[in-house]
Structure 1
Amino acid sequence: MVTRSCWKSRHKPGSGPGSAVFKTGLVVLWLCATRAGCTVEIKEPKVVQKDAEFDVTYNDTVTSDIQTIYAFNHTVSRNKTEGVRVSVEVQSDGVVNPILFVVRQKQAVVSFQVPLILRGLYQRKYPYTHVGRTLCQPPTRAATETQFFFVDVSTLSSLGTHYQLRVSRVDSFTLQTDKKSSFIATPSQPQFFKYEFPEGVDTVIVKVNSQMAFPCSVMSIQDILCPVYDLDNNVAFIGMYQTMTKKAAITVQRKDFPSNSFYVVIVVKTEDEACGGPLAFYPLGPDVLMNVGNRSKVLDVMVSPAINSEVYVMGMLFCLGIFLSFYILTFLVACIENRRMHKRRDGLLNTPDMSPAETASLLGKGLAPASPYEYGSFADNGSTLSSEAVTDSLASGEGNYGYMERSMENVGRGRQESLSSVEEDDYDTLADIDSDKNIVRTKKFLCVSDLARKDKRVLSKKYQIYFWNIATIAVFYALPVIQLVITYQTVVNVTGNQDICYYNFLCAHPLGALSAFNNILSNLGYVMLGLLFLLIVLQRDIVHNRALLRNDIAALECGIPKHFGLFYAMGTALMMEGLLSACYHVCPNYTNFQFDTSFMYMIAGLCMLKLYQKRHPDINASAYTAYACLAAVIFFSVLGVVFGKGNTVFWIVFSIIHILATLLLSTQLYYMGRWRLDSGILRRVLYVIYTDCIRQCSGPMYIDRMVLLVMGNIVNWSLAAYGLIERPNDFASYLLAIAICNLLLYFAFYIIMKLRSGERIQCLALVCILFTAVVWGFALFFFFQGLSTWQKTPAESREHNRECILLSFFDDHDIWHFLSSIAMFGSFLVLLTMDDDLDNVQRDKIYVF
């Protein structure tokens, strides 16, 4: 049974049945009495009320028998806000006997115990004997008003505990625009300040900086409400917040705060794990009290106006203007080229008394390569051939090289065969059923005519599958991606957790629900230039089809066989890269980084396939095989992002697969598909090594191809070794670097072999090559600026944030988007135009390499 003495008819403030101290003590005593079966008599503590003043330190002792109330009053002005801060310190033995402080003010009650116990990872406890709290300021309607607030000090300990209490005004509690304020914060002494939007300013950027990376801290933006959530265990309850080491920045809009003002709250965390700091020793149990150490941090806060609507309009017009200028430039170049072609055609048609054979001869005259080159150093019978012997053989029409000019009768027969209604199944058939492809493809000197023997309509349909497949992939890939990033953005807006997305917060301009509209807008170039490339390809496709309909000999029998399916797929991939990159930048983080890179792999793969298709149209990979390989690359990209960080087993497996894939592809390219992978492959490899290297040391038949493949293997094996040794955290970028290195190597080989073959690069293609190389150089410079990185914690990533550098709207990464989209468009134009010099050269005079 629990009994208590009768209460007096009149109680002093804070000591009656409604008092928080009384209720707490009553519950504790009730539990004690119930469990022990004893009778407890609750005595009313003695209440002492004191009139207190600001900036005076009160040293006193509190026991369970004495409750002290400090009464303060201050004048509150409607046009001026003054902060009030309560600072308390107790002796170290207060850990056993905590003191409860209750601050009662108008519209708010704040309570805290000292020592203040804050919890960290795994519920580890950190006691703080020095606590400082800033009081929220409720608004007033009167011009001036005198407000009272009380600080109640009580404890349940019968032993006296000494404490110090000081209440003071906060200097510069209201932040001024573009004015820096400095302060010190600790986990038990958080700081917050008030900011009011000035007239004409709708958006501001709150920037907090510190010279100290640690201790880890949190910056929060909260509405003017009481109480203010300013402790490590509750700062994430409302408003927007982000962790920080040296930098933090949040863009705040007036529309989100009805009072036209907000609080900037700075809290120092009890531990540094959230900011990537070293993990401390983990105790055996959660009840172990840890040493708090020195966790004070000096910080600066400054609020600056953000850009206005005019800057948004200028940024959008600038972005549109850049890429619309490419449309205008392309139209002008097309007009000039069309006029030149009409003049040339009129000159040919106006030539008197010219037979069809002479016309064909004129089309090919002077445009063939100057001299053939040696593809290998050994003839079919094993003897060495000099370049003079090869030239004599070609001039005399002897040998199996097919370089001699064909008669018009053969040209007509070849054209009739190409227009026949031959259907192709899955087998690699040849147009001439009396020829064996192994005989043709094993010739030391191959021409495009040897590898362009299949029916043109069948090949066109085969390569059109590339476009339709990538269009289908794009739809099924993009829809869930868009849905996911919208969900990400919604979560960020609802929870206020700014650590979810890795923006450049110093240059992240919101628009509507989007947090970084500028990063999304800058991807417009990929879409617009991809569409422009599709229009250019469509125009070339129409012109080529019209030439075929009028039986133009140059279109039928000259130049690189024109199949536009891969070009259409490349243009679509460029547009999808822009869309998915924009989706990624809605909320960039490590879980959706593959959205930004998936179609980069596809672009690199399609470019390599197009380069190979130019000289090998009959034996290029099918769309299904190509996309299956690209799917495997994307699969490994996801595995690397999820499991690759520090996983030795993964890197060993990946390196082995990388090297084996390189060897298999090298064999495929060297033998041009004339090999098979089965159980007898090892026996055949050993036999080749024995016959060519041991029994009779002979050089490779195809020297140029062998040089390319040896260099390719060196590069890929080096990249595999680098990955295995260094194990880079950004696996997706590492995989993309492998694809780009192989593409650049093959492209350089193609250009070198083209020049070696006596072919020339026309002015338009040369301009595109030089322009693209320069733009790629500048683009990579801005790419490696690294304004954010999801390989680190959000707080560490913000250390790399920088201000906008273009029109106060775009940052370095936006310029990378601009330049890389232009560079990719230029690269596509190079692939489209670099063999235009062969348009009037018969295919049996165009070499395969």
Structure 2
Amino acid sequence: MCGDILKFVLVLLTCALLPINGEINIGETGKVYSFKITSDENVEFNYTIHKQLWDSPNYQPYRVEVSAIDANRSHPVFVVVRQAKSILSWQLPLLVEAPNPDVIDPFVEYRNTSRILCEAMYEYAPGHSHTSITLQKANRKNPNFSILLSTYSEKPVSVMVRALPVPFYDVTPNRNYDAVFSPSEPVYFVYEFPAKDVETVHLKVTSMDDVCFTVSIQPHICPIYDLQDHITYQGKYQTVSKNGGLNIQRKEFEQSSFVIVFVAHADNYLCDKHAGVPHTEETKFVENKQISRVQFTIIERKESSSFKAIISLLGFNTIFCVCILLLTCCFYQCGGYYYKDHDQSDFRRDCALTPDIVDAMQNSEEPKLSTFNGQGKRNQRIAMNYLWHIANIAIFYSLPVVQLMVFYDRMVSSTGNLDLCYYNSLCSHPLYFQDFNHIFSNLGYVCFGVLFLIITAFRHRMPSRPKCGIPRLYGLYYAMGLALVLEGVLSGCYHICPNQSNFQFDTSFMYVMAVLIIAKLYQNRHPAVQASAYSTFTVLGLAVMIAMLGIIYNSLIVMIVFYVAFVIFCLYLAFKIYFFTNVTGRILTVCGNVCDDGVSHCVPNRPCQLFFVFAGLSVNSAMALSGFVLYPNIVDFGTYLLIILMGNAIMYCIFYIIMKLLTGERICCEAMFYGLLAVLFWISGSYFFFNAATHWSKTPAQSRLSNQDCILFDFYDTHDIWHILSAPALFFTFSMLSALDFDLVNTKQNDINVF
């Protein structure tokens, strides 16, 4: 900013040092004047505005158009417009910097220029103390202005000048306006809030071409920053190529009015990372090829409609949770899947898995659950460790996240740079935060997470028959409920300012929940050989780290490293699922048998389970290979990893249900009911998830091409609906898992198969 002030001072000094001999003319608005100037002679036009015009409430400011076709950088033409309280100056050719770092000459020359003279409604005035300033109504006593044109060129330079009033300077709500502008011909308009009722308005911008431009909202105070190199000095702004939108609140402007500024960029690099205008060392002159035509509308928003949408979602979650609680009570009274005696002895004597027991498990064609449930208290401790790990992660992970996102929100407010955050600009409602609707729609995760914790605590207190049914290990269920709550909290934090650097906040606990589902299903039938929370979260931490690298570096190397690590890990899990324990030893044993007796003697004890293991390996290999096609052009790495984890959780659920049915077990009505609801919510929610309204992997302007209008209560968009639907989907998934083995509550563990 200091550099621009220095330039301004130099222009004034240059004009002061020019020869005083020159021609002074009386200017007539709307008339084009053509003439030549040299270093020995400058030209001045004085424009007088009649009193009846500037006293009129419909008074419009003036635009000054200056063209100098044969001006050059060595001897530019200086334009100085003097008003009663301000001076506006620039030079021709006007040099506009192209942000593309690959061009040889970063500046584009424009010899056609147009600037609007500032006629602000308000101005700064001294305050009550000598160190303070206040805003007061501008006193427009003398709207007359003069235009001085000069140069140091010894050769005559042809110049054309015109001054004319600006039509449609003051805009009204709910009406479409057209604007045409270029890098050297910015335009701006003024909007004033009505006296009452309206506290927020929304500016919707639609471009009729693909020229990159900036739209800025500034206070209605002179000077107005309307060129590309200083438009970011005050107010807030965003880059746009096709679609854009900004929310403006009355409280942001003391004077209850603001200016809407449009200026095109010299090229399209900031919008799509590709220069829209060719720049070479030989081609240094591009004459206003970056002309943009846009249509914009001011839409007034009333707080009453926002509060209706908020109350509606709050009521939906409350009623839904109450109904689920009542339904759980009905299942408890009528289902018959709870043992109602008061003998709660559910622990077997702690005994280690001896080598003989391990060999018996691995060689048995139909291993039984009783073999895997010999260490009841140890199994309980391992299960509860998941809950304490989640709680510790929540403390040490969530606090920095909250701190960082509040900092982001303050940065956006202080700098006005809306390109920092990838909002759906067509459906974002400010209320405490810039994008309150996407934060509030995460309420369902918190509500349903708390509900699942309550139901889990209720089931945990119910007595069980000793040595019957699936072991009552509720630690993972508590961890699932807490993870669901944390998903809502962190997703809300992410939506304070969504962008590439914090995307993992939105998905971290989705990864956790997918892994917890797999761990719980395996724990049901293998309590003695279940994975500890330490190993589970270590592997999950490595996955999150790889996801972070994939987000930061869109590189093929990251994809190759992930593929190799993922395939090795899947092979280990496949052997773990089939051999139960001592994977390395069993692999060596099988290899020894193959060498001694040949492949024909290596007949699997559990062929059905082996088939599903190989099927899972094949599907995972295919999903991993698909990353080379999908990443990074179609999906980002974080979403890709989430699809893999969720896909494995779904596959393991399907495998578990099929094996239950193949071993003669059945699915109880409660589990089928929850499962059906989970499928319905997942299918409907997935549609809105993939119909994304933002893409942080692209530039902010490209992301705004996907922005969509609100579709529910004129407050929620597709991503909000994904939040609303995925929360009950996860809840019903967890509920289905917890009820999946209710049919075995009275079955002896000696008769329950392991798979």
**Quick check: TM above 0.5?**
yes
Equivalences for 1:198-213 in 2 at 5 Å? 198-199=194-195, 200-213=197-210
Distance in structure 2 (CA, Å) of the matches to 1:97 and 1:340: 93
Sort the Cα spacing of 1:695 and 1:641 in 2 relative to 1 into closer, same or farther, 3 A.
Answer: closer
- Who is 1:721 aligned against? 625
The amino acid that maps onto 2:616 is G
1:827 to 722, 733, 742: 733
Conserved? CA contact 1:537–1:567, under 8 Å: yes
Q: What's the CA shift for 1:684?
A: 5.4
Count the aligned residue pairs.
724
Conserved? CA contact 1:583–1:595, under 8 Å: yes
Kindly provide the CA deviation profile for residues 616-669 of structure 1, in whole angstroms up to 9, marking residues without a partner as x.
Answer: 1111111111111111111111111112x1x22222221111111111111111
Structure whose CA Rg is larger: 1
Equivalences for 1:614-693 in 2 at 5 Å? 614-643=524-553, 645=554, 647-676=555-584, 686-690=591-595
1:291 to 286, 290, 305: 286
Sort the Cα spacing of 1:344 and 1:164 in 2 relative to 1 into closer, same or farther, 3 A.
Answer: closer
Report whether the alignment pairs 1:133 with 2:133. no
Paired residue secondary structure (1:618):
helix
- In structure 2, the gaps of 5 or more residues are 1-7, 123-136
- Who is 1:799 aligned against? 705
Distance in structure 2 (CA, Å) of the matches to 1:654 and 1:44: 72
- Who is 2:453 aligned against? 534
- Who is 1:490 aligned against? 410
The two structures have a TM-score, normalised by structure 1, of 0.81
Distance in structure 1 (CA, Å) of the matches to 2:485 and 2:71: 68
The amino acid that maps onto 1:596 is D
The amino acid that maps onto 1:531 is V
The amino acid that maps onto 1:737 is I
Report whether the alignment pairs 1:739 with 2:645. yes
The amino acid that maps onto 2:371 is D
Paired residue secondary structure (2:244):
strand
Kindly provide the CA deviation profile for residues 789-834 of structure 1, in whole angstroms up to 9, marking residues without a partner as x.
Answer: 0011000101111111111111110000010001000000000111
Conserved? CA contact 1:221–1:263, under 8 Å: yes
Q: What's the CA shift for 1:264?
A: 0.4
Q: What's the CA shift for 1:675?
A: 2.4
2:22 to 41, 47, 69: 47
Kindly provide the CA deviation profile for residues 731-779 of structure 1, in whole angstroms up to 9, marking residues without a partner as x.
Answer: 0110111111111111111111111222221211111111110110000
Report whether the alignment pairs 1:595 with 2:502. no
Paired residue secondary structure (1:150):
strand
Report whether the alignment pairs 1:56 with 2:31. yes
The amino acid that maps onto 1:321 is G
Distance in structure 2 (CA, Å) of the matches to 1:130 and 1:666: 70
Conserved? CA contact 2:594–2:602, under 8 Å: no
- Who is 1:471 aligned against? 391
- Who is 2:126 aligned against? none
- Who is 2:437 aligned against? 518
Conserved? CA contact 1:761–1:835, under 8 Å: yes
- Who is 1:310 aligned against? 304
Paired residue secondary structure (1:506):
coil
- Who is 2:14 aligned against? 24
Kindly provide the CA deviation profile for residues 100-124 of structure 1, in whole angstroms up to 9, marking residues without a partner as x.
Answer: 1111112221001111111223571
Distance in structure 1 (CA, Å) of the matches to 2:364 and 2:590: 21
Distance in structure 2 (CA, Å) of the matches to 1:608 and 1:501: 34
Paired residue secondary structure (1:800):
coil
Paired residue secondary structure (1:301):
strand
Paired residue secondary structure (2:43):
strand
The amino acid that maps onto 2:179 is F
2:154 to 153, 158, 167: 158
Kindly provide the CA deviation profile for residues 235-288 of structure 1, in whole angstroms up to 9, marking residues without a partner as x.
Answer: 111111000000110000111111111110001001211001424799898x99
Q: Is 751-760 or 166-175 further displaced after alignment?
A: 751-760
Conserved? CA contact 1:771–1:826, under 8 Å: yes
- Who is 1:767 aligned against? 673
Q: Is 610-619 or 435-444 further displaced after alignment?
A: 435-444
Q: What's the CA shift for 1:334?
A: 3.6
Paired residue secondary structure (2:54):
strand
Conserved? CA contact 2:348–2:374, under 8 Å: no
Paired residue secondary structure (1:758):
coil
1:704 to 608, 612, 616: 608
Equivalences for 1:387-426 in 2 at 5 Å? 418=347, 422=350
Conserved? CA contact 2:693–2:708, under 8 Å: yes
- Who is 2:252 aligned against? 256
Sort the Cα spacing of 1:25 and 1:181 in 2 relative to 1 into closer, same or farther, 3 A.
Answer: closer
Kindly provide the CA deviation profile for residues 654-699 of structure 1, in whole angstroms up to 9, marking residues without a partner as x.
Answer: 111111111111111111113227xx96x6564354457x452654
Distance in structure 2 (CA, Å) of the matches to 1:280 and 1:202: 39
Conserved? CA contact 1:81–1:173, under 8 Å: no
Conserved? CA contact 1:88–1:165, under 8 Å: yes
- Who is 2:69 aligned against? 91
Distance in structure 1 (CA, Å) of the matches to 2:218 and 2:15: 34
Q: Is 487-496 or 335-344 further displaced after alignment?
A: 335-344
The amino acid that maps onto 1:662 is C
- In structure 1, the gaps of 5 or more residues are 1-17, 28-42, 350-411, 548-554
Q: Percent identity?
A: 33
- Who is 1:272 aligned against? 268
Distance in structure 1 (CA, Å) of the matches to 2:287 and 2:363: 78
Distance in structure 2 (CA, Å) of the matches to 1:332 and 1:64: 90
Report whether the alignment pairs 1:809 with 2:715. yes
Report whether the alignment pairs 1:100 with 2:96. no
- Who is 1:322 aligned against? 316
The amino acid that maps onto 1:177 is P
Sort the Cα spacing of 1:633 and 1:23 in 2 relative to 1 into closer, same or farther, 3 A.
Answer: closer
- Who is 2:423 aligned against? 503
Sort the Cα spacing of 1:684 and 1:332 in 2 relative to 1 into closer, same or farther, 3 A.
Answer: closer
Kindly provide the CA deviation profile for residues 397-436 of structure 1, in whole angstroms up to 9, marking residues without a partner as x.
Answer: xxxxxxxxxxxxxxx9xx999465x4x8xxxx14xx7953
Paired residue secondary structure (1:457):
helix
Distance in structure 2 (CA, Å) of the matches to 1:543 and 1:531: 19
Report whether the alignment pairs 1:189 with 2:185. yes
Conserved? CA contact 2:199–2:249, under 8 Å: yes
Sort the Cα spacing of 1:142 and 1:21 in 2 relative to 1 into closer, same or farther, 3 A.
Answer: closer
The amino acid that maps onto 2:110 is Y
Distance in structure 1 (CA, Å) of the matches to 2:563 and 2:380: 37
Distance in structure 2 (CA, Å) of the matches to 1:481 and 1:345: 44
Paired residue secondary structure (2:583):
coil
Distance in structure 1 (CA, Å) of the matches to 2:266 and 2:279: 15
Sort the Cα spacing of 1:25 and 1:528 in 2 relative to 1 into closer, same or farther, 3 A.
Answer: closer
Distance in structure 1 (CA, Å) of the matches to 2:544 and 2:455: 29
1:180 to 157, 176, 179: 176
Kindly provide the CA deviation profile for residues 347-406 of structure 1, in whole angstroms up to 9, marking residues without a partner as x.
Answer: x99xxxxxxxxxxxxxxxxxxxxxxxxxxxxxxxxxxxxxxxxxxxxxxxxxxxxxxxxx
Conserved? CA contact 1:107–1:138, under 8 Å: no
The amino acid that maps onto 1:719 is M
The two structures have a TM-score, normalised by structure 2, of 0.91
Report whether the alignment pairs 1:460 with 2:396. no
Distance in structure 2 (CA, Å) of the matches to 1:777 and 1:721: 25
